[in-house]
Amino acid sequence: MFALFKKEISSFLSSLTGYLVMAVFLLVNGLFLWVFPTEFNVFDFGYANIDGLFIIAPYVFLFLVPAITMKSFSEEQKTGTIELLLTKPLTDLQIVMAKYLSGLVLVVFSLLFTLIYYISVYQLGLPVGNIDSGGVWGSYIGLLFLGASFVAIGIFSSAVTDNQILSFILAVLLSGFVYIGFDFITGLSWFGNADLLIKQLGISAHYASISRGVVDTRDVVYFLSLIVLFISMTRLTLASRKW
């Protein structure tokens, strides 16, 4: 499994894909935080915080993570190397986890580079350090869980088709629905007293909860359950090729 994981990481770093994803993530968020005259601009806002990063980043991840994962299994299926991969002394779960973890590593690296924004605002505060660090770290944890969930969804989307474009579109649609789709449904007020329960099925409610700086066990369990669900569905999709 570790050998396959290293191979996947190498394939990202030996091409422009990995570097491009991290560069685009930093650039888009940086433009909104420091350049564009929006409500997220640090200088215009007047307070030492980077809340804008945690509002913008999920939508950037919504497109970048599927771009990372779209070829994970789609390319293997299209080229026929999936059959060779399945003959290796690896279980289906180990194959899925190697692909998943390689995508997750890129997400983690992308987040690590954004720490420069936190350090900058920390130093710009008056006095220095006048920033809600607890809220920032809570938001980072929430963003990590969100990115990890998107990777799991992207891996599943890649496993169900041999077309990378379809994999990308499916991953964007699924991730978008799980992130904000339930909010739209509850906004229609179709389900009365069940609206709150339905809203809790979406990522947005749990991401917002963690972003307040309090890591609730219920939120952690939700994210882990979502990740396990899509990894299990991916493993089942691979196993179905042997039926």
**Structural domain boundaries in the chain:** 2-242
Token digits of residue 119: 């350090």
Q: How many C-beta atoms lie closer than 10 Å to residue 211's C-beta?
A: 21
Q: Write out residues in the chain with pLDDT < 50, as ranges.
A: none
What distance in Å separates the CA atoms of residue 101 and residue 8, rounded to the nearest whole number? 9
Decide: 103 and 155 in contact? Cβ < 8 Å. Answer: yes
> How much is the pLDDT for 58?
95
> How much is the pLDDT for 126?
76
Instruction: State how far the alpha carbon of 174 is from the alpha carbons of 156, 157, 170, 178, 181, in Å.
Output: 10, 8, 6, 6, 9
CA dihedral 53, 197, 218, 168 (to 10 degrees): -50
Q: Locate tokens 């991730």: which residue?
A: 175
> How much is the pLDDT for 242?
64
To 5 degrees, how large is the angle CA 119–CA 26–CA 65? 125
What distance in Å separates the CA atoms of residue 126 and residue 136, rounded to the nearest whole number? 17
> How much is the pLDDT for 237?
92
Token digits of residue 210: 């963690």
- The pTM assigned to this predicted structure is 0.93
Decide: 163 and 74 in contact? Cβ < 8 Å. Answer: yes
Token digits of residue 143: 């963003």
Token digits of residue 221: 């369990």
Residue 129 Ramachandran class (φ > 0 left, ψ -120 to 50 alpha, else beta): left
Cα dihedral sign, 52-170-207-220: negative
Amino acid at the residue 203: I
> How much is the pLDDT for 191?
67
Q: Locate tokens 């499916």: which residue?
A: 170
Measuring CA to CA, which residue among 17, 33, 60 is closest to residue 146?
Answer: 60
For helices 51-69 and 133-159, what crossing angle results, to 10°? 20
> How much is the pLDDT for 186?
81
Q: Find the DSSP H helices in the chain.
A: 2-13, 16-30, 42-45, 51-69, 74-79, 81-86, 92-113, 115-124, 133-159, 164-176, 182-187, 195-199, 203-210, 217-239
Token digits of residue 243: 């039926």
> How much is the pLDDT for 165?
94
